Amino acid sequence: MDSTEGRGRTSALAYWQVTKPRLWVMLAYTAGIGFLASTKIHPGTVSDGILAVVAAALGTAGANAITCYLDRDVDSIMERTMHRPIPTGRIAPPSRALEFGAALAAFSLLILVLAGKYVAALFGLLGLVDNILVYSVWLKRRSPLNIILGGFSGGAPVVVGWTVNADLSLTPILMAALVVLWIPSHIWSLALKWRDDYSRAGIPMLTAIVDLRKAVLCVASTSILMVFFSCALVLIGPFGWPYLVVASATGAVLLALTAWMTVKPRGRAPFVLFKYTSPYLAILLAAMVI
């Protein structure tokens, strides 16, 4: 029996927190960006845009609640996560988080199917499978490739947003690829700060299981690849010079923070880099629409 079984009542706030709001808000935003970008090709309706954002929010929130249930044992060990609702007993029994997450995820797919957005529903389903089964169940505790193969789910909401309004094409795939490439920089910079936490929990996050020098090189290489790809998109996608200006400027900041992290990997630099990656991606995606 889990140590959290049978503890007090579950509050609405605990259910909100178990969905990891900052994460699902970011991914719902990418779905909205995908929708807005598609209106350049096929004028869309406000209702379709709302549908995309709501479906992405429900799906990612549901997946987060499910993975919090699956990770409840390691979350209770790691300093970074031990205050989440399940380890602290604010959701008890833990199976309530699983049921809540499954309901949200199922409803996210149901509303897409009922609206006749079958391609969007398919990509929503693929995102859920990748995040829950591929990443959390299969790879997270077994392979340092966990965040790479499990990162495809991060790109799914962009495609969901696009395909509620327009046919699948190269553009949403490129936008999704940008998100997928962003994930290692985002997660590995966080794991670099919490190396001891991941090691204590037995999670083979790449930047936690190699020596510090190699870990720094891993983060730096993904940051460089991210900036290169973001700028190269003007050559292979329908993005103009305003996007290139934004990608170059924000990328320069990312590379500067990466250089700082390379020189000072034991200080604040990895966490500052981690915090910057979220607005960096948000600005890049907005520039794509512009």
User: Which of 146, 168, 190 finishes a domain?
Assistant: 168
Lowest mean pLDDT among 26-35, 40-49, 159-168: 40-49
Q: Are residues 101 and 45 in the same domain?
A: yes
Give pLDDT tens digits for 135-144. 999 999 999 9
Number of structural domains, the chain? 2
User: Which of 115, 141, 168 finishes a domain?
Assistant: 168
Radius of gyration of the chain (CA): 19
CA–CA distance, 129 with 136 (Å, rounded to integer): 10
Band of residue 151 on the pLDDT scale cut at 50, 70, 90: very high
Q: Are residues 136 and 69 in the same domain?
A: yes
Asked if the structure places residue 195 within a domain, the reply is yes
Is the model's pLDDT at 216 over the cut of 60? yes
pTM as predicted: 0.93
Cis preceding linkage at 270, omega within 30: no
pLDDT, residue 4, reads: 41
Give pLDDT tens digits for 107-128. 999 999 999 999 999 999 999 9
Is the model's pLDDT at 158 over the cut of 50? yes
Q: Are residues 129 and 101 in the same domain?
A: yes
Asked if the structure places residue 4 within a domain, the reply is no
Give pLDDT tens digits for 184-200. 999 999 999 899 999 99
User: Which of 121, 143, 168 finishes a domain?
Assistant: 168
Asked if the structure places residue 73 within a domain, the reply is yes
Asked if the structure places residue 2 within a domain, the reply is no
Can you give the CATH number for the domain in which 28 is found?
Answer: 1.10.357.140
CA–CA distance, 31 with 19 (Å, rounded to integer): 17
Q: Residue 112 — left, alpha, or beta (φ > 0 → left; ψ -120 to 50 → alpha)?
A: alpha
Q: Are residues 134 and 225 in the same domain?
A: no
Q: Are residues 18 and 156 in the same domain?
A: yes
Q: Are residues 163 and 257 in the same domain?
A: no
Considering the chain, what percentage of its residues have pLDDT values greater than 70? 97
Q: Are residues 156 and 16 in the same domain?
A: yes
Residue (of 104, 108, 120) closest to 44 by Cα position: 120
b/e code 163-194 from CB counts within 10 Å (16+ = b)? bbbbeeeebbebbbbbbbbbbbbbbbbbbbbb
Q: Are residues 95 and 148 in the same domain?
A: yes
Is the model's pLDDT at 1 over the cut of 50? no
Can you give the CATH number for the domain in which 208 is found?
Answer: 1.20.120
Q: Are residues 195 and 58 in the same domain?
A: no
Q: Are residues 39 and 27 in the same domain?
A: yes
Asked if the structure places residue 40 within a domain, the reply is yes
Size of the chain, expressed as the number of residues it contains: 290
Range of the domain at 267: 169-290
CA–CA distance, 134 with 282 (Å, rounded to integer): 26
What is the DSSP secondary structure assignment for residue 247, as one 8-state letter?
A: H
CB 166 within 8 A of CB 250: no
Band of residue 243 on the pLDDT scale cut at 50, 70, 90: very high
